[in-house]
Structure 1
Amino acid sequence: MSDSPTRDELWALAHVERAALADDLAGLDAAQWGSPSLCGRWTVEETLAHLTAAGSVGRVRWLVSVLGARFDFDLHNDRRLAEHRGADPGETLDRFRRIIGRTTSTFGPTEAWLGEVVVHAQDIRRPLGLARTPSVEAVTPVARFFAGRDFTVAGRSAIESLRVEATDGPFTAGAGALVSGTTVALVMAMAGRAAYCDDLTGPGVQTLRERCGPA
């Protein structure tokens, strides 16, 4: 794959990561499904339902939903999450499996929607102690996207005046106090997940941790 993957290549990576997450979750018990994820107030099951919604709602439906919520994006997300959550965790997982191969999205570059899958998958895995991490091929374009702008997350602001370097791949960005670690740890820190700062090293880590907010 080239340094600048095509749209089709990015979606193929997203499909692989969705499938891997579905496989990881197949054996969860009720307590695990109800445990907190790293994504704010959402449980593991709710975060998965959010991913199903993200893979189901195109531009027109998204606009209608956002207008209906009067641009309250938390309300919009909660409504769409509830729509795509099943009657029980097994049904929630089945609904997610049905969108694994879709390319439905709203606005913005495909890297953003690959990032949606990568970040929320780790939001789920980390608290559950699931060891799998996404491939370097999948997380590198997400890292470059997050570092270049504040869009779905405030990635560029998170690493302002810092030098970030991946220890397992080609990703580097910025200038200043060094922060190094795996590409996925850098991605998650840029997405505001303070827990992943524990996986990073360098004199700039404390600055990045403070920008992530509470763990």
Structure 2
Amino acid sequence: MPDQPAGSARPGRGYSRDALWAMAHAERGALADDLADLDAEQWGRPSLCGSWTVEDALAHLTAVASVGRVRWVTSVLAARFDFDEHNERRKAEHRGSTPAETLRQFRAIIPSTTSAPGPTVAWLGEVVVHAQDIRRPLGLTYTPSIEATTAVAEFFAGRDFTVPSRTLIQGVRLEATDGPFTTGTGPLVSGTTIALTMAMAGRAAYCDDLTGPGAPTLRTRVVAHDRGDAR
């Protein structure tokens, strides 16, 4: 989904870069506030993101907002296009010596507009998805704004980017129960916009929140993807 000129802002589509970054900043701030009082056990709890802990996933979000295009290309080349290795190196670089330091470093990048190559909505998607990767295992029930989740859902439905989101939903129809997002044809899968977004991101835990005749098909695909390293 290419970024659109400023001034066009319909629900879930046509947002300007400034509007998309504002949503990303708001979601980062909300996540930082949610994590302010975690204890050591919670920081070490597994996230929904592969083998990463809650602290690891937060450090990854800091890295995503700290590594610009030139440095990203350099890092990927150094990792010989092994994106898992690239992500591990940058995550380790931005993880503090303590969880408190990791959180402080994350707070420092809340207003950042630094990113790797790609459309701005993709980096909003990084925040939305990884924030839920962190929150769900912690039992935190914050829901991102419908504008942010709809924009990300539409992006995921439109193309495979860092996750095979478009491939996962081929042959089913998705309909949000709390917003305007709909896409596809075939057996219906319904749920909240965030649940549909997280399923498209390959997070099997969110398939529990989906209903409809197409839900078993989507679950089977997502579970198969989730057995890999969903980052």
- Smaller-chain TM-score range? over 0.9
CA displacement, residues 51-93 of structure 1 (integer Å, 9 cap, x when unaligned): 0000000011001111111111111100000000000000000
Gaps of 5+ in 2: 1-8, 227-231
Structure 2 counterpart of 1:70: 80
Distance 2:171 2:42 in 1: 39
Structure 1 counterpart of 2:229: none
Instruction: Give the number of aligned pairs.
Output: 215
How much is the aligned-residue C-alpha RMSD, in angstroms?
A: 0.8
**Structure 1 residue 211, shift from structure 2 partner:** 0.9
**Structure 1 residue 108, shift from structure 2 partner:** 1.1
Q: Does 1:121 align with 2:131?
A: yes
Q: Does 1:24 align with 2:34?
A: yes
Distance 1:131 1:144 in 2: 23
Which of residues 193, 198, 201 is equivalent to 1:183?
193
Structure 1 counterpart of 2:109: 99
CA displacement, residues 8-48 of structure 1 (integer Å, 9 cap, x when unaligned): 10000000000000000000000000000000000000000
**Structure 1 residue 153, shift from structure 2 partner:** 1.2
Question: Which of structures 1 and 2 has the larger relative contact order (alpha carbons within 8 angstroms, sep 6+)?
Answer: 2
Structure 2 counterpart of 1:192: 202
Partner SS state of residue 206, structure 1: helix
**Structure 1 residue 200, shift from structure 2 partner:** 0.6
**Structure 1 residue 205, shift from structure 2 partner:** 0.6
**Structure 1 residue 146, shift from structure 2 partner:** 0.1
The worse-fitting range, judged by mean Cα deviation, of 197-206 and 2-11 is 2-11
Partner SS state of residue 180, structure 1: strand
Which of residues 181, 202, 209 is equivalent to 1:171?
181
Q: Does 1:9 align with 2:16?
A: no
Q: Which amino acid aligns with 2:97?
A: A
State, as a whole percentage, how many aligned pairs show the same letter: 72
Q: Does 1:44 align with 2:51?
A: no
Deviant stretches of 4+, over 6 Å: none
Q: Does 1:146 align with 2:156?
A: yes
**Structure 1 residue 138, shift from structure 2 partner:** 0.7
Distance 1:162 1:108 in 2: 27
Structure 2 counterpart of 1:204: 214
**Structure 1 residue 4, shift from structure 2 partner:** 1.2
TM-score by length of 2: 0.92
Distance 1:202 1:107 in 2: 36
